[in-house]
């Protein structure tokens, strides 16, 4: 059986890469991918803790399925928003988009 620390290190690395992607990227699509990477790191944590702490209970797995479902809905909604902004502004760069400004 693989030790739990391996899963936690993997999850920490994925989450750190996601945070770096959100802070360093300017493209809205790449920022969205980085957020999805962070959500998958959280799912790995949920599943790892569920398997190691209560193998017969499915609480962590159910939370992971909810995270994946919410992530899929988020991707659909945000990609639609990004496509609409790209059609109106001809850019997907988050620095150049100021639609939310008064």
Judge residue 13's burial from the number of C-beta atoms within 10 Å of its C-beta, 0-12 exposed, 13-18 middle, 19 or more buried.
exposed
What CATH number is attached to the domain comprising 61?
A: 1.10.287.3510
For 12-59, the pLDDT digits (tens) are 999 999 999 999 988 888 888 999 999 999 999 988 888 888 878 788
Q: Report if residue 40 sits inside a domain.
A: yes
* 0.85 exceeded by pTM: no
Domain count, the chain: 1
Q: Domain residues for 33?
A: 4-89
Say which DSSP state 63 is in: H
Q: Report if residue 19 sits inside a domain.
A: yes
User: Residue 101's pLDDT is what?
Assistant: 59
Please provide the size of the chain in residues: 102
d(CA 91, CA 15) in angstroms, rounded, equals 27
Residue 88, pLDDT > 90, answer no
Q: Report if residue 98 sits inside a domain.
A: no
């Amino acid at each position: 059986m693989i030790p739990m620390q391996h899963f936690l290190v993997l999850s920490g690395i994925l989450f750190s890469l996601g945070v770096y992607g959100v802070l360093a990227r300017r493209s809205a699509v790449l920022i969205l991918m980085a957020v999805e990477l962070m959500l998958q790191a959280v799912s790995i944590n949920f599943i790892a803790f569920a398997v190691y702490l209560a193998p017969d209970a499915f609480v962590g797995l159910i939370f992971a399925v909810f995270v994946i479902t919410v992530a899929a809905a988020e991707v659909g909604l945000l990609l639609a928003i990004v496509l609409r902004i790209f059609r109106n502004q001809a850019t997907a760069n988050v620095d150049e988009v100021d639609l939310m400004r008064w």
